[in-house]
Amino acid sequence: MATEQLAADLVRIKSLSGGEAEIAAFIASHLRAKGLSPKVDGRNVLCSVGKGKRSLLLNSHLDTVPPNSGWSMDPFAAKKAGGKLYGLGSNDAKGCVACMIDAFTSLDVKTLKGKVILALTCDEETGGQGLETVLPKLGKLDGAIIGEPTGLGICNAQKGHLMLKVVAKGKSAHSSYPEKGVNAIYKACEGIGVLRKMSFSRKHKALGLPTVAVTTISGGTKRNVIPSECEFIADIRSTPAYSHDELIRMVKKKLGKGMEVVVHSSRLVPKETSADEKIVKAAKAVLGTSVRGSSTMSDMVFVDCPAIKLGPGNSHMSHQADEYIEISQLKKGVAAYKSIIERFLAP
């Protein structure tokens, strides 16, 4: 019940990316009430327990995306019905945050050989002042658990994220004489058709094949003018089988000289942790399941140590109207996190 209530309290606090100050203050106060000494660093909350040479990071994010227009209820009401907790961020990832807090505060540090660092951070949905900026302050890490909704499945690999802006150039003309111009929107559509048919031959064991999706398109200035320029974003989810540089070259070759390809973002590379690493073995021993890959991006990309992505909830519910998490998953999440910590830092 305590974890369920904490998760509901977190859902009631609006924490869109960039606006996490209130939820950070709430969590810091909650941890102080448990006798701990958290630090609020910007819009991030940091707290550690235990001593020793080895250290384990627990990380999840405090921010959410904005609610979309399809909600049938108040996204901040934290409604409970049918064994589910509804609300913006309930699944992604305030359920994970609540479970990590309760697992962290229930640890018997005297039985641990090492330090546990809880870092609940901002800006995961947009990038910015979150985990990436906090990591240099945490010292050497021997392992990390990234709290994301995986149905308590163990993800030891995740796809990277490469974003390319493609610009199609044409020639403007009056729309009454389209033959006198070159319609850049038509050229962009041809390029999109090429990318839709793009295929890959090298399949990664855990992550499968890369994917390409066009997610935005913009072109034209006036209704009666043939557009001279049209641009679109190609969102590529990459695997270790292809470097980002290789993927960029492949896209440029496919599109040909008539398209300008500009790298919008390429720093979020794929991440993979060997199944032989201690953090993976600890999770497998606790949960009794095998590892798998994840198509979604998370702050796991930033940690320079063996890491897994694991948490209560279902990734397919993330960013959805009427988002929810199964309440039964919360109790299981606390138990899983606590047991993995204890096994990883066992004497």
In terms of domains, do 175 and 304 share one?
no
In terms of domains, do 274 and 222 share one?
no
CA distance 336 to 58: 12
Three-state SS for 57? strand
CA distance 159 to 246: 15
In terms of domains, do 233 and 282 share one?
no
245 is catalytic: no
- Torsion sign over Cα 133, 139, 162, 67: negative
pLDDT, position 282: 98
In terms of domains, do 186 and 202 share one?
yes
pLDDT, position 217: 98
In terms of domains, do 40 and 184 share one?
no
CA distance 182 to 179: 7
Question: Among 213, 238, 268, where does a domain finish?
Answer: 268
In terms of domains, do 236 and 165 share one?
yes
Indicate which residue of 20, 92, 123, 124 is catalytic.
124
pLDDT, position 258: 85
CA distance 59 to 128: 16
pLDDT, position 272: 97
DSSP single-letter state for residue 23: H
Length of the chain equals: 347
Tokens for 339? 């047991």
In terms of domains, do 244 and 285 share one?
no
Domain count, the chain: 2
User: What are the per-10-residue average pLDDT scores of the chain (347 residues)?
Assistant: 94 98 99 98 98 97 96 98 98 98 98 98 88 96 98 98 98 97 98 97 97 98 97 98 98 94 96 97 97 95 97 94 98 98 96
Domain span at residue 227 reads 160-268
Question: Among 249, 268, 287, where does a domain finish?
Answer: 268
Angle, CA of 76, 99 and 74, to the nearest 5°: 10
Task: Name residue 44's beta-bridge partners.
Answer: 41
Spatial contact of 136 and 290, defined as CB atoms under 8 Å apart: no
Q: Which of 178, 156, 183, 188 is nearest to 284 (CA)?
A: 156
pLDDT, position 129: 79
Q: Which of 234, 239, 242 is nearest to 160 (CA)?
A: 239
In terms of domains, do 224 and 278 share one?
no
Question: Among 203, 235, 268, where does a domain finish?
Answer: 268
Chain-centre distance for alpha carbon 297:
4
272 is catalytic: no
Angle, CA of 158, 160 and 165, to the nearest 5°: 155
Tokens for 212? 């390409």
Indicate which residue of 4, 20, 63, 125 is catalytic.
63
In terms of domains, do 203 and 106 share one?
no
Spatial contact of 186 and 223, defined as CB atoms under 8 Å apart: no
In terms of domains, do 173 and 241 share one?
yes
pLDDT, position 1: 65
pLDDT, position 127: 78
**Is 0.75 surpassed by the pTM of this model?**
yes
Q: What is the CATH number of the domain that holds 168?
A: 3.30.70.360
